[in-house]
Structure formats: structure tokens, C-alpha cells
A and B are shown apart, each in its own frame.
Chain A
Amino acid sequence: MSLGMVLLGVLAERPAHGYDLKRAHDDRFPSARRLAYGQVYATLARLERDALVELAETTRGAGPDRAVYAITDKGRAELLAWLDAVESPGPYPAEELVRKTITSLHLGADADGFLVHQRAAHLAAMRRLTLDRAEAPELGARLAIDHALAHLDADLRWLEETRDRVARETTGTGGRQVAERTGGDR
């Protein structure tokens, strides 16, 4: 479950309370389902339990008190490890690729390196499936492998296009610049 990592990605830029986190998530991933507050607080509770975030302060407004959370050193280390790690290419890793890439771009982390290594992992998976298909005696098995290959191929094309698009639309390498382009992080 990467929601925790996505929230850590926001907290790596600045401390925030639950409402900020929900807003940042919904802005960054407009095609994803809106986050429910319950999900945000449940995830924060888990992150706090695992010492990846800590309560920074409690602000008082007109309404109820608001807890402001900050990322810990351990949280930052876990986040960077996630950004760097190649996703298992299958069965359906696509959404995780998108979450990770966008989070990485916001932080100015090494998104390009991730995309390059993910491409290698995807192609390796396609290579294994291609070998399996050559040895599959049943037509049905070959068709099922074709289906998996087509999905991996679609992911691969997205990985390539994303590298091209990011290279073209960002002149520097700063995360802030990218953040503006992707419409988040005001």
C-alpha cells in the first residue's frame, strides 16, 4: 500500500495536517479516487506507530484542534528507498508506477533513474514471458501470456514517454519546477 509513501512524500516537503495531506493527494492524483479523511488519519496513525512521522504541534483554530505531522529521519529513509526501488512488473503495477513517479518529481528525487531501472525490470519480465510462451503447448496459455505481454508493453511505453515528457518539459532538475508543471505544491 503506497498511500503512506505518498503522504510521506508530501510531509518530506513540509509538516502538514490531515486536511493539507488530503488536498495535496487529490491535487497530485486528480484521476485517483478522492481520499476520505478516515483513510488519511488511519494512514497517519500507522505511520506514527511505525515512527515514520511524528506529531509536530497542535494548532488551534475556530474548530477542533489540528494535529500537524512531520516526517522523521526514519520516514525520510523509507521514502527514499521506496522511490528508488523497482516495482515488481506484474500483475498490475501500473498505478504504483504513476504514484511513485509523480511523488519523485515533486521531491526532485531521481525519477529518471527509477524510470530507467523500471524499464529494465519490465523488459526482463517480458523476456521471461516470451520464453514461457515459446514453450507453452496450449493455445490458451499462449493467449494468456499475450495478454500479460500487452499490458507490460503498455507500461513500458508509458515509462518511455514519461522520460521524454519530463526531459522536454523541465529544463532544470529541481523538484519545485516540476511541482509547478504537475500542478501541485503551491
Chain B
Amino acid sequence: MNGPQPEPGTGAASDPIAPLLSARAVHKTFGATPALRAASLDLYAGEVVAVTGRSGSGKSTLLHCLAGVTVPDTGTIVYDGQRLDQLPTDDRSRLRRRHFGLVLQFGQLVPELTAAENVAIPLLLERRRRASAQAAAMEWLDRLEVADVADARPAAMSGGQAQRVAIARALVTSPRVVFADEPTGALDTVTGDLALQVLLSATRETGAALVLVTHDNRVAAAAEREVVLRDGTVDVPATAGRPESGRP
């Protein structure tokens, strides 16, 4: 991938009232099974959105399309004025590494590497010098209060520690969007709640938008708004509202 490439965040596309990331009428089918049917979602800079729905409702597929991990069959994904779905694979990967962070249910840390090395990976992929990447990794581990496990491998960490390390890895590149797929799903309620608070405060401090995919209403309640998926399509506009019953 040579040649000039428009860099997101620099053009007229950085309209403050335009969505930062936008999915429009996205269809995605796996084999004969439609996972998404005309799903649309707008994400604005710095906001926290929960994507909820039963298992099989298409929420993880929507996250993968938004994050540029998967390309939709039809429909568009626009990130900061760029058609993500039309980018060549290499460019899409590069954009994803620079602008997006991903937190998954089980952390997905590399088992052979220490916490600090895991957190440094995204920077090393961007050809940052090792010393500088390690320093940035340590800074994030410290910020998320897991500096004490910097030299430990994932197997030696608790679930909550591993998830904090995964959050540090997602945030180390200063992404503009963080995607979290069931980020507390593998943790007990109290540990999950603490990890969620860490994720929320870290994204708030860095100004990143956060997309929380979850089937847990308590996690959804931590978001500013909710998008419900049902059978691969958006079920409820988040602005749903009715007068409350006046009856006692």
C-alpha cells in the first residue's frame, strides 16, 4: 500500500456534528444465515453506546463491521468521511490499528508474552521503537493499576487483572473509538463492574468513543444510549419515550 492516502481526521469530513463512525443499511450473511439485515448505527465522537440484543441478534457482527474486522455484503461503513468497507485490506488494517481499540470477552492476550509486552504490541506493529513502546505500555499499566503484573504472563493473572491489561492494550495507541465485546462476560459481577469502570474512565479521559456490545443490562446502563438489535436489525431507536402512567 504505497502512495498518498487521505488521513482521517484531517479533511472537511471532521465535521463536529457528523457522526464519527456510521453504518448504513448493512447486510451480512454467513452461509445461508443472515446475521445483519439493514442495520444502521451512528456513533459520535466521545460518546458511549451500548449495542444490546439476544445472542444471535447480530451484535458482534455489527461490531466487527464497524471496527473494519469484517466487510459487509452490502451497505456502507463510513469512518470520519472514509468508506471503510471500500478500503483495501491492508489499509483497513492500518486504519484499525491506529484509530480503533478492541477489548474482547476473554482479553485475548498473547499467552507467551508478559503484560507489558502484550500492551506494547499495537505500538510495535506501528513501528514504534521498542523502548518507547515499553515505556508507553508501562504508563498505561500504571494508570489502570496493574503495574505490579507488568512482568507476569496472562496465566499468572486474575481475570480482572487480565481484562485491565487488555484495556490498556486497546488504549495504548490513543484510539478514537474503542470497541468492547462483552468486556465483563468472563468476570464475576463485582470484578466485572470494576473493569467496566476502568474502561469507562479511561475512554472518558482520552476522549475516545466507546461501543459496548453486551447482553448484560447492567453494562448497558453504563452507556449514554442503547441500540437494540433484534434479528439482525436495529429494533428500538434510543430516543424512545412515552409519558409515564399518571396513575398511582
Contact = CB atoms under 8 A, between A and B. Distances in A.
Interface in B206-248: 217-218, 220-224, 226, 228, 235-236, 238, 240-248
B83 interface: no
Contacts of A87: 244-245
A181 interface: no
B229 to A, nearest CB: 12
A82 B247 contact: yes
Question: Which secondary structure characterizes the binding site on chain A?
Answer: helix
Contacts of A117: 240-242
Name the 9 nearest CB pairs between A and B, nearest first.
A126-B221, A85-B245, A120-B240, A86-B242, A130-B221, A117-B242, A156-B217, A127-B221, A153-B217
A10 to B, nearest CB: 18
A94 to B, nearest CB: 14
B39 to A, nearest CB: 17
A97 B240 CA distance: 18
Given A86-B243, A117-B240, A121-B244, 12 more contacts: A5-B247, A82-B247, A85-B247, A86-B242, A87-B244, A96-B245, A117-B241, A126-B218, A129-B221, A130-B218, A134-B197, A164-B54
Interface of A: 1-2, 5, 82, 84-88, 96, 116-117, 119-121, 123, 126-127, 129-130, 134, 149, 152-153, 156-157, 160, 164
Contacts, number: 63
Contact of A123 (B54, B220, B235, B245): B220
Interface residues of B, number: 23
Given A123-B226, A160-B54, A149 B243 contact: no
A51 B223 CA distance: 45
A48 B244 CA distance: 25
A85 B217 contact: no
A160 B248 CA distance: 25
Contacts of B228: 119
Contacts of B235: 116
Nearest to B243: A85
A134 B248 CA distance: 30
B221 A88 contact: no
Contacts of B222: 127, 130
A1 B245 CA distance: 11
Contacts of A86: 242-245
B217 A88 contact: no
B217 A123 contact: yes
Contact of B240 (A116, A134, A153): A116
B46 to A, nearest CB: 17
9 contacts: A1-B248, A86-B243, A88-B244, A117-B240, A120-B240, A123-B221, A126-B221, A149-B218, A156-B217
Contact of B242 (A84, A126, A156): A84
Contacts of A123: 217, 220-221, 226
B203 to A, nearest CB: 14
Interface string B20-58: 000000000000000000000000000000000010000
